[in-house]
Amino acid sequence: MTAFRSALFFVLLQTWTLTLGTLYLPLLLAGERAVSVAASFWIRGVFILLRVTCGLSWEVRGTVPQGAALVASKHQSTLETFAFFLILGSPAVILKKELLKIPFFGWYLGKTGAIAIDRAAGTKALKEMVKGAEAAAALGRPVLIFPEGHRMDVGAAPDYHTGIAMLYGALGQACVPVALNTGCFWGRGSFAKKPGKAVIEFLEPIPAGIDRKTFMVELQSRIEGATARLVAEATGVSA
């Protein structure tokens, strides 16, 4: 039944995306605000399809930051990629440049003010990331980064990169860690979408001004500890 429901979701998702992607084409000539509103409508439709076909929903816990903020989240699933757009109100997401080449999805993503970086560019990419984040913060927009750089399997050893520490130091803002258990329901590379309620939890902010090494240790400790707790809640199995 899970396989059938997941297949149905896939077909309906493709239909929904192709339909709106085509209708939205004139918006590629419009401003960021118009594209963001249109993207929110598409995402809400995706979540309705996900709930109706697969029985999968999600909830937010903790205090969601308002305005300019640095948000660092665990990344396990496509689910939170979509959810954060609704939760944070069109954040400036730091992502790999290759995503912008995906037909329809990438075209519109590039119009939402995302900070796309070429990870092969090394130090230059990090400087561009900081510059883009500073510009977003100046406009009062939240900056969202996945410190591990890509989706991780549930239970995989953490792999935090130092780019988040650069942002933390450059922006001079508190950092809001986010834990989740979305991968228990919609895992990386998994076609199956399992029924249940995924959780995205905003944790206590890490104050500005901490040295980078201490910050990295604290960030990983908070996110991994809370994520393990949420995974245990979803699976009934303690880490």
pLDDT at 33: 87
CA nearest 181: which of 227, 238, 224? 227
Residue 198, phi-psi category: left (phi > 0), alpha (psi -120 to 50), beta (remainder): beta
Write the CB contacts of 152 (distance below 8 Å, at least 6 apart in sequence). 74, 75, 76, 158, 159, 183, 188
Instruction: Return the DSSP state at 92.
Output: E
Backbone torsions φ then ψ of 98, nearest 5 degrees:
-60, -25
Helix or strand (DSSP H, E) at 198: strand 196-202
Cβ-in-10-Å burial (0-12, 13-18, 19+) of 182 comes to buried
pLDDT at 62: 97
User: Strand pairing of 92-96 and 143-145?
Assistant: parallel
pLDDT at 236: 84
* Site of tokens 């990419």: 125
- Give CA–CA dist 200/156, Å, rounded: 18
pLDDT at 189: 85
pLDDT at 239: 57
Consecutive 10-residue averages of pLDDT for the chain (239 residues): 95 95 90 90 97 98 94 97 93 90 83 85 84 92 94 95 93 96 94 96 97 96 98 84
pLDDT at 118: 84
Distances (CA, A) of 125 to 2, 132, 224: 41, 10, 26
